[in-house]
Amino acid sequence: MVIQRDRYLQKLIHRRENGMVKVITGIRRCGKSYLLFDLYHQYLNADGVTDDHIIELALDEDENARYRNPVELGQYIRSLLVDKDKMYYVFLDEIQKVVEVPNPYLPGTEEKIGFVDVLLGLMKIKNVDLYVTGSNSKMLSTDILTEFRGRGDEIRVNPLSYREFYDAYGDDKRNAWRDYFTFGGMPLVLAQKTSEDKSRYLHTLFDKIYLDDIMSRHNIANEKIVLDDLLDIVSSSVGSLTNPSKIQKTFASVKGTAIADDTISRYLDYFIDAFLLYQAKRYDVKGRKYIGSPLKYYYSDVGLRNARLNFRQQEENHIMENILYNELRSRDFDIDVGIVTLYSHNEDGKSKRTQREVDFIANRGSQRYYIQSAFAIPDEQKRAQETASLTGIGDSFKKIVVTRENIVPWHDENGILYLGVEDFLLDENAMNL
């Protein structure tokens, strides 16, 4: 099965030979290796680069175990650079498999060599263009720039967008949305034949890969039950405002467990760094400032969220909101949750202050969009309720309401655009109608 990842392929093409190490990150099994070893390799071939000038090394394979020694790795790559007048494209998969070793040239000292030293050395070779992938257990988002001393160019790969999923789904698209909001966009989900197979695959990802990675990296082998419970709580409240203190109270009342809120905060950060969860901050639109707690959390893949809950809580409205959040991220928007303060007068003439929420404030360069996720708008009262925050903003940036219904796009008297969710997800230009 061929799955096109054009958005990420174009990012690699744009960064080609830019003098930096291209670090491809993202949750494990989201398609990083496929993007590099298949799609980008094919692109280079089509552009005239021969296979002998594309050096590929999968460091998680046993036949390449010797190259997990950074000294061996550096020497091996350099031995293949026989043509000084042509560019070599070096692809190193699962770079975190390379371990630190004592510097063999400085015996008796504590100095060590690791993969960062190898990559920084290769970057200085003029006819080397370097690309690496790494699992989230070692190559975390907060580590990238530090590890590569400002010379790393990160490309974040997400699970399949609905557009990518839809295009690869097959000829009968009628069930594409149902399957996507249930089982998500991890690429190998498409290869599973039955619902049971898809469910089993997602559970395996969680139990055997993601949690094991997090526990291994942070040495929390005895806390799996707490991590499981925390993920269940977050899964049940996707798209709802929460904070560690609120989650702490849930632990106490529902789980009967006492756990410090700073511990909860730390574990949530682990999930975020592992690309499993995203965090959305609240932003006061009129006050033009960020508000602290509470926050919102979204899953990087809704299938993983649903698997955590054994597919019991299938509230399509909350799942749709999570999908919209992920789509905006994949379009390279920075996303906040908006708060709009409105003032009115009650029957006694007294001023009344209320706060309304904008689901998403999406910023990208000079662009800004205010987006409301409204599962259904059955009547005028519901429409007024959903758009109250948008009409109260008062600036000229685009305002959009996305509904589950398959509607013809239209604008109301306030200029607010109404779109069906599949139109929004399948056509990036729909935002600008």
**How many Cβ atoms are within 10 Å of 107's Cβ, its own excluded?**
7
Q: Which two tokens stand for residue 129?
A: 């263009």
Q: d(Cα 159, Cα 325) in Å, to the nearest integer?
A: 13
pLDDT for the residue numbered 118: 93
Q: d(Cα 67, Cα 73) in Å, to the nearest integer?
A: 5
pLDDT for the residue numbered 145: 60
Q: What is the largest CA-CA distance in the chain?
A: 86
pLDDT for the residue numbered 313: 81
Helix (H, G, I), strand (E, B) or coil at 190: helix
For the whole model, what pTM was predicted?
Answer: 0.92
pLDDT for the residue numbered 201: 97
Q: Where are the domains of the chain?
A: 6-156
With beta carbons less than 8 A apart as the criterion, state whether 165 and 176 touch: yes
Q: Which CATH number fits domain 6-156: 3.10.129.10, 3.30.565.10, 3.40.50.300, 3.30.70.260?
A: 3.40.50.300
From 344, 226, 232, select the one nearest 277 (Cα to Cα).
232
Mention every residue, 6+ apart, whose C-beta is less than 8 A from residue 206. 304, 307, 308
Helix (H, G, I), strand (E, B) or coil at 389: helix
pLDDT for the residue numbered 170: 83
Q: How far is CA 294 from CA 164, 172, 186, 237, 274, in A?
A: 33, 42, 29, 13, 21
Strands in 45-195 per DSSP E: 54-58, 88-93, 101-102, 112-113, 128-133, 152-156
Helix (H, G, I), strand (E, B) or coil at 185: coil
Q: How far is CA 370 from CA 26, 37, 281, 290, 425, in A?
A: 27, 38, 15, 16, 16
Q: What's the full length of the chain, in residues?
A: 433
Q: d(Cα 26, Cα 16) in Å, to the nearest integer?
A: 20
**How many Cβ atoms are within 10 Å of 84's Cβ, its own excluded?**
8
pLDDT along the chain (433 residues), means of 10: 92 96 91 96 98 96 96 97 96 90 92 91 95 70 64 91 95 91 96 96 92 88 87 92 90 83 92 92 91 91 96 90 97 95 75 88 97 93 92 94 95 96 96 93
Mention every residue, 6+ apart, whose C-beta is less than 8 A from residue 351. 343, 344, 345
pLDDT for the residue numbered 69: 97
pLDDT for the residue numbered 314: 83
pLDDT for the residue numbered 136: 59
